[in-house]
């Protein structure tokens, strides 16, 4: 475990002192598990892609798809439009594959490497306990390979397929072939294309017609081996009339080397299907000088392909040195609905450029965007969102609200919405405000006997309430705790 | 990344502008004063560096300038004579006026004899472009540099400290379109000394039906406590390109209001830039685009709060008919030291037809914590409930719709302080609508 030495700023006073102490609160989940891992040499070329594909025992069509993506990626340039700042990434320095040492297929948790289980326990997700808890199945991704999957039997009874992407490619190739890249094509953008070439693993969910998934599905991602880019690929399909709620939570070890994470998540909802995708992201954000921390360059997109299908993204982003992420909804089916609820917190030298895209194509489509940005320390928080109403999208409706809160005078809050309307029956509204915690608010709370820190926590949690109430119960609790931890001593 | 699709043999608009400059340089040098050619050369070099923006340029995402490449424009000629009767309808009052035809001072049409003491209205090339330099700190303005390089002269309005100019001063820029496409470079500078007060009406007229490209630059420099009202109108033809930059620098406790309404025209782009450099400065920008056919108006603004306790207000509205396109891109930028900033930005659009398009990007970029900034954008059609209400009170449908549009646009128009400008705009905008309020 690396202990980052904080360089103390000039002695702060009063409220500033609290702010500072929040800014300096140590990352709780910074530890590295020492497990022998099997890695590819650094660099990216066709051989590496072939190596990854072979390691995973993939069929030829998968390899060809990866190679097509790689060849396309080589013609692309890294985007510079996001409002984030980082040293150039040498893509030939990155290890594109790293897996915990292969073991024979596991029948039960007892066969899992005890050190892995220990890691999960440190993260607060003991599998045994979760087995007992009602309703949550965990597909834990340790680095790049899914090593333990629970509740499979229960899900199988309902007909739900919930497995790792590698397994899905082997066991359900017809589904993977039909849907992989159907929402985020291999040529989509620089990072998604990179992911298409080298993705290591991820989760696959298929909910058959008319089935309401009996439990909330959850994956904990964990980045471990040094210098390993994490390239997850997740595909969730809800067939006609199906519904599913998926939870994604992340923590990562503390270290000084920047890590690239370029995941792709694709959601497909057919007629009358509903997918709810919730994320709590708490990856290592770097220390107060901005050293270390995860680069989180993620492409997430959902296709509301059928009539009355619904896709909802909820995210609580508190980690990562840089977040570049726009969970989007393509509202293709008539009367389909897209929702986006987000809390993004940047502290220390974190940078976030995040938001959503709502593409209205079908008639009577509706979308809602609620975004809450909180900036503290020297964090830079940007909301960037697109609402697009195509010509045929009669009576499309969008409501967008993005609010920013600034805690401290060294941080920044930015709002860059894009609105494009090509149909006159559309109604699009966008509202944004920027504010700070008022001294009068704090004074009122103090005067009622609340400590300033509690008052700030209360006010910030209130500011985020509209988003938290969209989270599943367990996540809502975790999210509030996370915000409290992040808020420790941060009073403006 | 975009790649130019033109073949190497075909000149791009960038090359053509460069060639215009090469062609005009000798004549410009003939009348140049100290250092002027060096400034022109430097401005041209900066333009060439940037070139005519391509589609991949985020700042020009919604305004496609590819059409300029196909336009074999030449410099607007000097010899055209404009009859006073042709200008008469555009004049707004008896105050001093300066008229430039194709970038050259027209003594016959101008009348600055009435200028009160302390106010000068004359044509000369400014000795610097410090306001433009300041306003391009954050993002460049290629066409403003082009105008700086190529404008034969400029209309310069100066108001001495403490002087209040009672009558509005009018600057008229006429471009005479001919059979071949022409390029023009209108330039206006307004300098208001400490505590001075002035109203300037900027009028652009395109005469004739041919294609025109006008890269115009308006510089407003408001010293401590100065008050400047700037109202801009443009009567263009269907094949005109108007690429206008309005750059504003404000010192302590100054107030600047600037408004632009375009009627007709092909492609219009307004780049408003305001730099609030002194504490307590107050800036208000307004714009209205009422478009039909395939007209295109792109209002781009960047208001920089560089000092504490400044206020800015930006109100822009679009009413879009036919297959027109209305673009709004506004940004309030608050520097770290600009505490107590108060900024409000709104953009509202009404779509009247199936083929009209609206794009809106109201942006905030904030580095200070004690600020109050809001922005809002709406896109929709006329409220059918309100139309129904008016009809139920006995108004014909067309009249009811016109009344609602009038009310929507009126918020911008009524803020025009020069009555003659406001009335002319109203009759130009509402005249064609049957029963429109302006027709009465």
Pairwise CB contact (< 8 Å): A414 & B356: no
Q: In terms of DSSP bridges, do strands A294-304 and A259-261 run parallel, antiparallel, or are they unpaired?
A: parallel
Residues B209 and B266 placed together within one structural domain of the fold: yes
Q: Tell me whether residue B330 is in a domain.
A: yes
Averaged pLDDT, B219-243? 92
Q: What is the pLDDT of residues A347-367, one digit of tens each?
A: 888 888 999 999 999 999 999
Which among B333, B366, B382 is the top mutation candidate for probing chain A, defined by the most A β-carbons within 10 Å of its own β-carbon?
B366
Averaged pLDDT, B180-185? 89
Residues B417 and B362 placed together within one structural domain of the fold: no
Residues B69 and B129 placed together within one structural domain of the fold: yes
Name the residue among A320, A353, A345 with its Cα closest to residue A456: A345
Which of A387-401, B18-32, B112-126, B420-434 reaches the highest mean pLDDT? A387-401
Chain B residues with CB-CB distance to A416 below 8 A: 361, 363
Q: Which residues pair with A437 in a beta bridge?
A: none
pLDDT number for residue A112: 52
CB-nearest to B357 from A416, A421, A425 is A421
Task: Report helix, strand and coil shares of chain B as percent, to nearest 5.
Answer: 25, 40, 40
Q: Tell me whether residue B220 is in a domain.
A: yes
Final residue before a domain boundary, out of B339, B362, B381:
B381
Q: Tell me whether residue B62 is in a domain.
A: yes
Interchain contact B56–A (C-beta under 8 A)? no
* pLDDT of B197 over the 90 cut: yes
* pLDDT of A337 over the 90 cut: yes
Which among B320, B369, B372 is the top mutation candidate for probing chain A, defined by the most A β-carbons within 10 Å of its own β-carbon?
B369
**What single DSSP character describes residue B422?**
H
Q: Mean of the per-residue pLDDT values for chain B?
A: 87
Final residue before a domain boundary, out of B381, B406, B431:
B381
pLDDT number for residue B413: 86
Which among B379, B383, B387 is the top mutation candidate for probing chain A, defined by the most A β-carbons within 10 Å of its own β-carbon?
B379
pLDDT number for residue B171: 92
Q: What is the pLDDT of residues A103-126, one digit of tens each?
A: 444 445 555 556 555 545 544 544
pLDDT number for residue A410: 82
Interface size, chain A vs chain B, as Cβ–Cβ contacts under 8 Å: 111
Residues B225 and B241 placed together within one structural domain of the fold: yes
Residues B372 and B237 placed together within one structural domain of the fold: yes
Q: What is the pLDDT of residues A190-222, one digit of tens each?
A: 888 988 888 877 888 899 999 888 877 876 543
Q: Which residue has the higher pLDDT, A257 or A453?
A: A453
Phi, psi of B430 (to 5 degrees): -100, -10
Pairwise CB contact (< 8 Å): B364 & A420: no
* pLDDT of A12 over the 80 cut: no
Whether the CB-CB separation of A39 and A97 falls below 8 Å is answered with yes
Which of B109-118, B321-330, B418-427 reaches the highest mean pLDDT? B321-330
CB-nearest to B381 from A419, A425, A432 is A425
pLDDT number for residue A104: 43
Residues B142 and B204 placed together within one structural domain of the fold: yes
pLDDT number for residue B79: 63
Q: Tell me whether residue B67 is in a domain.
A: yes
User: Predicted confidence band at A399 (pLDDT cuts at 50, 70, 90)?
Assistant: very high
Q: Tell me whether residue B248 is in a domain.
A: yes
Q: How many domains does chain B contain in total?
A: 2
Residues B393 and B374 placed together within one structural domain of the fold: no
* pLDDT of B122 over the 80 cut: yes
Q: Which residue has the higher pLDDT, B18 or B108?
A: B18
Pairwise CB contact (< 8 Å): B375 & A416: no
CA distance B286 to chain A (A): 19
Which of A61-75, A405-419, B182-196, B414-428 reaches the highest mean pLDDT? B182-196
CA distance A172 to chain B (A): 38
Q: Mean of the per-residue pLDDT values for chain A?
A: 77
Pairwise CB contact (< 8 Å): B378 & A428: yes
Chain A residues with CB-CB distance to B369 below 8 A: 406-409, 411, 436, 492
* pLDDT of B271 over the 90 cut: yes
Pairwise CB contact (< 8 Å): A426 & B362: no
Pairwise CB contact (< 8 Å): A433 & B374: yes
* pLDDT of A6 over the 60 cut: no
pLDDT number for residue A38: 64
Averaged pLDDT, A148-165? 74
Q: Please provide the DSSP assignment of B15-78 as one string.
A: HHHHHHHHHHHHHHHHT--TTHHHHHHHHHHHHHHH-SPPTT-GGGTT---HHHHT---EEPPS
Task: Tell me the CB-side half-sphere exposure of residue A345, using CA atoms within 13 A.
Answer: 28
Q: Please provide the DSSP assignment of A102-167 as one string.
A: P-SPPSSGGGS-HHHHHHHHHTT--HHHHHHSTTEEEEEEETTEEEEE-SHHHHHHHT-EEEEHHH
* pLDDT of A9 over the 50 cut: no
d(CA A389, CA B321): 17
CB-nearest to A424 from B363, B378, B381 is B381
CA A127 to chain centre: 22
Whether the CB-CB separation of B359 and B389 falls below 8 Å is answered with no
Averaged pLDDT, B18-23? 89
* pLDDT of A138 over the 80 cut: no
CA distance A456 to chain B (A): 15
Stated length of chain A: 492
Chain A residues with CB-CB distance to B363 below 8 A: 414-417
What is the percent of chain A where pLDDT is above 70?
74
* pLDDT of B91 over the 80 cut: yes
CB-nearest to A436 from B363, B369, B374 is B369
Q: A43-47, A175-179, A480-484, B346-350: lowest mean pLDDT where?
A: A480-484
Q: Tell me whether residue B8 is in a domain.
A: no
Residues B302 and B424 placed together within one structural domain of the fold: no
Q: What is the pLDDT of residues A287-315, one digit of tens each?
A: 767 677 788 888 999 999 989 999 999 98
CB-nearest to B374 from A81, A408, A432 is A432
CA distance A373 to chain B (A): 12
Nearest CA in chain A to B319: A424
* pLDDT of B389 over the 60 cut: yes
Chain A positions contacting chain B at CB under 8 Å are 77, 81, 389, 391, 404, 406-436, 492
pTM: 0.80
Pairwise CB contact (< 8 Å): A421 & B351: yes
CA distance B34 to chain A (A): 41
Chain B residues with CB-CB distance to A404 below 8 A: 364, 366
Averaged pLDDT, B115-139? 87
Name the residue among A222, A213, A364, A326 with its Cα closest to residue A275: A213
Residues B116 and B251 placed together within one structural domain of the fold: yes
Averaged pLDDT, B104-122? 83
Q: Which residues pair with B12 in a beta bridge?
A: none
pLDDT number for residue A27: 52
Nearest CA in chain A to B1: A77
Pairwise CB contact (< 8 Å): B364 & A413: yes
User: Predicted confidence band at A487 (pLDDT cuts at 50, 70, 90)?
Assistant: low
Residues B348 and B402 placed together within one structural domain of the fold: no
Q: What is the pLDDT of residues A226-254, one digit of tens each?
A: 334 478 888 999 999 999 998 886 544 44
Q: Tell me whether residue B350 is in a domain.
A: yes
pLDDT number for residue A365: 94
* pLDDT of A169 over the 70 cut: yes
SS3 assignment for chain A: CCCCCCCCCCCCCHHHHHHHHHHCCCCCCCCCCCCCEEECCCCCCHHHHHHHHHHCCCCHHHHHHHHHHHHHHCCCCCCCCCCCCCCCCCCCCCECCEEECCCCCCCCHHHCCHHHHHHHHHCCCCHHHHHHCCCEEEEEEECCEEEEECCHHHHHHHCCEEEEHHHHHHHCHHHHHHHCCCCCCCCCCHHHHHHHHHCCECEEEEECCCCECCCEEEEEEECCCCCECECEEEEEEECCCCEEEEEEEEECCCCCCCEEECCEEEEEECCCCEEEEEEEEECCCCCCCCCCCEEEEEEEEEEECCCCCEEEEEEEECCCCEEEECCEEEECCCCCEEEEEEEEEECCCCEEEECCEEEECCCCCEEEEEEEEEEECCCEEEEEEEEEECCCCCCCEEEEEEEEEEECCCCEEEEEEEEEECCCCCEEEEEEEEEECCHHHHHHHHHCCCCHHHHHHHHHHHHCHHHHCCCCHHHHHHHHHHHHHHHCCCCC
d(CA B395, CA B399): 6
CA distance B347 to chain A (A): 10
Q: What is the pLDDT of residues A15-33, one digit of tens each?
A: 555 545 544 455 555 545 5
Pairwise CB contact (< 8 Å): B361 & A417: yes
Residues B406 and B328 placed together within one structural domain of the fold: no
* pLDDT of B439 over the 70 cut: no
Final residue before a domain boundary, out of B358, B381, B404:
B381
Averaged pLDDT, B52-65? 85
**Residue numbers of the domain that contains B119:** 13-381
pLDDT number for residue B157: 93
pLDDT number for residue A135: 33
Residues B410 and B371 placed together within one structural domain of the fold: no
Q: Tell me whether residue B244 is in a domain.
A: yes
Q: What is the ipTM of this complex?
A: 0.77
Chain B residues with CB-CB distance to A431 below 8 A: 374-376
Name the residue among B269, B256, B223, B237 with its Cα closest to residue B57: B269
């Amino acid at each position: 475990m690396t202990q980052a030495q904080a360089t103390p700023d000039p002695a702060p006073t009063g409220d500033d002192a609290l702010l500072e102490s929040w800014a300096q609160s140590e990352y709780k989940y910074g530890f590295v598990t020492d497990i022998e891992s099997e890695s590819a040499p650094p660099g990216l070329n066709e051989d590496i892609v072939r190596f990854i594909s072979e390691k995973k025992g993939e069929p030829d069509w998968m390899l060809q798809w990866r190679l097509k993506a790689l060849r396309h990626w080589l013609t692309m340039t890294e985007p510079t439009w996001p409002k984030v700042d980082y040293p150039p990434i040498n893509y030939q320095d990155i290890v594109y594959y790293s897996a915990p040492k292969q073991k024979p297929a596991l029948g039960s948790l007892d066969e899992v490497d005890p050190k892995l289980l220990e890691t999960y326990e440190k993260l607060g997700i003991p599998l045994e306990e979760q087995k007992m808890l009602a309703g949550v199945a965990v597909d834990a991704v340790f680095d790049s390979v899914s090593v333990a999957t629970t509740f499979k039997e229960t899900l199988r009874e309902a007909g739900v397929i919930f497995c790792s992407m590698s397994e899905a490619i082997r066991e359900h190739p017809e589904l993977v072939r039909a849907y992989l890249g159907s929402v985020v094509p291999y040529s989509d953008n620089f990072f998604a294309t990179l992911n298409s070439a080298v993705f290591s693993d991820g989760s696959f969910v298929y909910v058959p017609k008319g089935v309401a998934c009996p439990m909330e599905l959850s994956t904990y991602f964990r980045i471990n081996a040094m210098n390993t880019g994490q390239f997850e690929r997740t595909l969730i399909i809800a067939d006609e009339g199906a519904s599913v709620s998926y939870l994604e939570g992340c923590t990562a070890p503390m270290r000084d080397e920047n890590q690239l994470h370029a995941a792709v998540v694709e959601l497909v909802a057919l007629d009358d299907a509903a997918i709810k995708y919730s994320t709590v992201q708490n990856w290592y954000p770097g220390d107060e000088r901005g050293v270390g921390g995860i680069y989180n360059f993620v492409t997430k997109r959902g296709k509301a392909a059928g009539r009355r299908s619904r896709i909802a993204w909820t995210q609580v982003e508190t980690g990562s040195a840089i977040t570049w992420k726009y969970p989007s909804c393509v509202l293709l089916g008539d009367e389909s609905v897209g929702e986006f609820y987000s809390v993004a917190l940047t502290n220390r030298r974190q940078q976030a450029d995040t938001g959503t895209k709502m593409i209205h194509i079908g008639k009577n489509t509706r979308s809602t965007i609620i975004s809450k940005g909180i900036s503290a320390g020297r964090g830079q928080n940007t909301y960037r969102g697109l609402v697009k109403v195509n010509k045929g999208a009669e009576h499309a409706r969008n409501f967008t609200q993005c609010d920013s809160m600034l805690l401290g005078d060294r941080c920044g809050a930015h709002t860059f919405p894009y609105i494009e309307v090509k149909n006159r029956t559309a109604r699009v509204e966008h509202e944004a405000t920027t504010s700070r915690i008022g001294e009068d608010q704090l004074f009122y709370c103090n005067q009622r006997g609340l400590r300033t820190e509690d008052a700030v926590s209360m006010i910030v949690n209130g500011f985020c309430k509209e988003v938290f109430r969209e989270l599943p119960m367990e996540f809502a609790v975790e999210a509030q705790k996370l915000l409290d931890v992040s808020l420790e001593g941060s009073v403006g | 990344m975009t790649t130019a699709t033109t073949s190497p043999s075909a000149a791009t608009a960038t090359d053509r502008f460069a060639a215009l400059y090469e062609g005009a340089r000798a004549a410009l040098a003939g009348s140049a004063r100290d250092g002027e050619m060096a400034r022109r050369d430097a401005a041209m070099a900066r333009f060439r560096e940037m070139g005519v923006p391509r589609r991949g340029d985020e700042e020009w995402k919604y305004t496609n300038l590819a059409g300029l490449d196909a336009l074999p424009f030449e410099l607007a000629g000097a010899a055209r004579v404009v009859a006073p009767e042709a200008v008469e309808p555009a004049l707004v009052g008896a105050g001093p006026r300066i008229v430039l035809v194709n970038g050259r001072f027209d003594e016959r049409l101008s009348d600055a004899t009435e200028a009160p003491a302390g106010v000068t209205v004359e044509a000369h090339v400014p000795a610097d472009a410090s306001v433009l330099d300041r306003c391009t700190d954050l993002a460049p303005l290629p066409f403003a540099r082009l105008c700086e390089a190529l404008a034969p002269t400029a209309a310069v309005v100066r108001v001495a400290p403490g002087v209040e100019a009672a009558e509005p001063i009018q600057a008229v820029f006429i471009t005479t379109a001919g059979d071949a496409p022409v390029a023009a470079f209108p330039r206006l500078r307004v300098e208001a000394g400490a505590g001075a007060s002035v109203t300037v009406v900027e009028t652009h007229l395109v005469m004739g039906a041919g294609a025109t490209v006008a890269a115009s630059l308006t510089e407003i420099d408001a010293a401590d406590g100065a008050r400047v009202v700037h109202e801009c109108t443009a009567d263009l033809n269907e094949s005109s390109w108007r690429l206008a930059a309005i750059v504003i620098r404000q010192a302590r406790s100054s107030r600047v209001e600037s408004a632009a309404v375009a009627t007709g025209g092909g492609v219009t782009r307004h780049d408003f830039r305001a730099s609030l450099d002194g504490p307590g400065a107050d800036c208000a920008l307004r714009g209205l685009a009422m478009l039909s056919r395939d007209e295109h108006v792109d209002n781009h603004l960047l208001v920089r709060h560089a000092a504490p306790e400044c206020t800015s207000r930006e109100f822009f509205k679009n009413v879009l008919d036919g297959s027109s396109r209305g673009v709004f891109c506004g940004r309030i930028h608050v520097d770290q030291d600009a505490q107590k900033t108060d900024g409000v930005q709104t953009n509202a659009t009404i779509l009247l037809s199936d083929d009209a398009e609206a794009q809106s990007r109201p942006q905030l970029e904030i580095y200070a914590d004690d600020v109050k900034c809001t922005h809002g954008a709406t896109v929709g059609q006329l409220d059918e409930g309100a139309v129904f209400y008016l009809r139920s009170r006995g108004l014909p449908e067309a009249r009811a719709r016109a009344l609602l549009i009038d009310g929507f646009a009126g918020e911008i128009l009524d803020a025009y302080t020069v009555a003659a400008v406001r009335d002319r705009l109203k009759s130009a905008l509402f005249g064609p609508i049957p029963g429109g309020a302006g027709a009465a």
